[in-house]
Each structure stands twice: as C-alpha cells, then as structure tokens.
C-alpha cells in the first residue's frame, strides 16, 4: 500500500494523519499539534514519500475545513466485530486490527471516547491506519473498502453504547513561562545535520537491531532480547520501547543504558560519530 497516497486521501477528507515509529504505536511527531491543524502537503511528503514511515495514525475528532467528526469503533475481538458488522445496515470503511476491527464513521455530533462491552469508541486520539504493522507483526488490513459512512451519532450503529462518563473538570495547568521547547525533529528536514541524531532516533527503533525481542508487559513498553554484545543464552537485554533505551543485565557497555546510536556503535565496533554516519546512510 502506498502510504503517501493514503495520507493524501485522509488529507482530502479533512483528517490528520501522523507518522508512527516502526513496530510500535508511538507517534514520531508531537501528534497533538495535528488535532488542531492538518499536516501540510510538505510534511506528508517528508514523512511518507520515500517512505520514511510505513506506520501511521489517523487522528479522530473534529475534521478540518469540513463538517463532522471522525469516530472509530474499535472491537477487541474479530468475531464480535464481524457479527456487529453483518447486523449493521450501513456499510462503512473497516480495517482488521491485530485481534479485532476498526469501523470508521463521520458523525454530526462529537463522539466521546467510551468503553463498551467488547471494545471502545474512539472520539479523540489516533488509531493505527491500514497498512501499519502492529507490534505483534500483524498488519492492519482493509476489510471493507467502502467510503466512511456519515451518521448523526454513533448510537445509530451501536444503540447499546453506554453514556459517556461526565467530563471531570481538571484544574487548569499553570501557564508555561519557560522558553518554548526545541523544534520538533520533523520540523527540519532530515538532511539538516544539527537534527540528524534526533531524526535517527525518530526513524529507527532499537528493536530493528535486536532480533527476537519479546514484549514483557501489557503496556508494550518493556521488552527483552538476547544481548548481541555478548554470548547471551538468556535474554539479558532490556528495552524501554517508549524512551528507546536498552541495556544489558550482564553488564555490556559498562552496564550503562544505550540509545540507538550507542547500540549501533557497539554492534559495529565503531565510534558514535561513525555510527551516526552509517545510520544516516540508512535513512
């Protein structure tokens, strides 16, 4: 599937997409910005033309420049999802997920993220788009290639949807007085040297270099793999997929945590700057 043309289709629907790191569900950009605006065509080309990213997320919620809201019914179980799909009169765009399915709708009324028996309704945040690879290796695959159905409210297709919890009034966070955060890596082209390391961190996943890494917790943050730096018979390399750090329980690299550059340098037995150069050639 050509990610760029898919991304452009979403753009045409007034729906934002964001790149997601490989073998994860973690966005490679500050995705909340794209709840407020669509990515520019230049951003889409930078993210998806080569393609730098194969995984991408579709942002739910208010559409940009067009009426209505994107809402996705996320069924945890494929059988239950298919039963529901067959019982529904309206056809809509659906995607098989690792275990269940996503049914996409454009609603007149805003949808609030709500759990229901067997899944949840996503009214905000993002869902992994068709063509993306789930951390388990499963590929999100289009089941029904129909246009997204336009409905008044999700209750039209899921009458049992529980009432959303009343919105808790969070105290307003204090105004941020410090300097604005440094520019996002993707705000500058990847060939610009000063942000090269940021770009490398965004583009590669440690697990690309640690074959057979296995998830050890439900959140998907912590993984274990055989350490490639010593003759490892037990998986001794821990991986924090969220922060993209890893380390060896047996004490490789002096027991210090490594990021992608440190790991590549250790694997290739070269300096960090040589590793950056070799990783750049792989971008």
Binding residues vs Zn ion (CB under 5 A): 227, 229-230, 248, 250, 252
Q: How far is the CB of 272 from Zn ion (least distance, A)?
A: 18
15 vs 266 by CB, closer to Zn ion: 266
Nearer to Zn ion, 143 or 224 (CB): 224
Within 10 A of 199 (CB to CB), how many other CB atoms are there?
A: 22
Which pair of structure tokens corresponds to residue 278? 């070799």
Residue 202 or residue 248: which is nearer to Zn ion going by CB?
248
Closest separation in Å from C-beta 5 to Zn ion: 43
Q: Which residues pair with 225 in a beta bridge?
A: 237
Nearer to Zn ion, 139 or 267 (CB): 267
HSE (CB half, 13 Å, CA atoms) of 119? 23
Other CB atoms within 10 Å distance of the CB of residue 179: 6
Minimum CB separation from Zn ion for residue 192, in Å? 34
CA distance 176 to 101: 40
- Report cis status (omega within 30 of 0) of the bond before 51: yes
CB of 259 to Zn ion, least distance (A): 16
Largest interatomic CA distance in the chain: 62
Cα torsion 63, 148, 32, 41: sign = negative
CA distance 229 to 232: 8
Give all strands (DSSP E) within the chain, no chain letters: 17-20, 55-59, 61-62, 69-75, 94-96, 101-107, 114-116, 119-122, 126-128, 141-144, 149-151, 214-215, 222-225, 237-240, 245-248
Pick between residue 112 and residue 253 the one whose CB is nearest to Zn ion.
253
Q: In angstroms, what is the minimal distance from the CB of 266 to Zn ion?
A: 9
13 or 252, CB closer to Zn ion? 252
> Considering beta carbons, is residue 116 or 209 the nearer one to Zn ion?
209
- CA 17, CA 35: separation in Å to the nearest integer? 9
Shortest gap between Cβ of 247 and Zn ion (angstroms)?
Answer: 9
* Residue 109 CB contacts under 8 Å (≥ 6 apart), including other chains: 69, 152, 153
Least separation in angstroms between residue 20's CB and Zn ion is 29
Contact (Cβ atoms closer than 8 angstroms) between residue 143 and residue 132 = no
Comparing CB distances to Zn ion, the nearer of 30 and 214 is 214
Q: What are phi and psi of 42, to 5 degrees?
A: -65, -40
- Smallest gap, in angstroms, from Cβ of residue 230 to Zn ion? 4
């Amino acid at each position: 599937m050509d990610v760029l043309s898919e991304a452009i289709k979403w753009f045409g629907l007034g729906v934002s997409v964001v790149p997601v790191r490989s073998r994860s569900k973690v966005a490679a950009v500050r995705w909340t910005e794209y709840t407020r605006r669509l990515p520019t065509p230049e951003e889409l080309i930078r993210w998806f033309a080569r393609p730098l990213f194969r995984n991408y997320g579709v942002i739910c919620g208010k559409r940009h420049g067009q009426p209505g809201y994107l809402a996705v019914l996320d069924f945890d179980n494929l059988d239950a999802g298919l039963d529901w799909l067959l019982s529904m009169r309206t056809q809509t765009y659906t995607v098989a997920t690792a275990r269940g399915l996503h049914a996409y709708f454009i609603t007149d009324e805003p949808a609030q993220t709500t759990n229901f028996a067997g899944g949840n309704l996503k009214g905000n945040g993002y869902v992994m788009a068709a063509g993306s690879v789930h951390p388990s290796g499963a590929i999100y695959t289009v089941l029904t290639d129909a246009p997204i159905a336009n409905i008044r409210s999700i209750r039209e297709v899921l009458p049992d949807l529980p009432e959303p919890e009343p919105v808790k009034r969070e105290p307003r966070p204090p105004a941020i007085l410090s300097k604005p955060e440094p520019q996002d890596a993707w705000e500058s082209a990847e060939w610009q040297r000063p942000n090269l390391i940021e770009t490398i961190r965004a583009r590669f996943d440690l697990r690309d270099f640690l074959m057979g890494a296995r998830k050890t917790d439900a959140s998907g943050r912590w993984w274990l793999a055989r350490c490639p730096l010593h003759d490892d018979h037990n998986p001794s390399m821990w991986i924090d997929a969220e922060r993209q750090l890893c380390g060896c329980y047996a004490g490789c690299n002096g027991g210090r945590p490594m990021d992608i550059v440190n790991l590549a340098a250790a694997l290739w037995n070269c300096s960090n700057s040589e590793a950056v150069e070799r990783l750049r050639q792989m971008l």
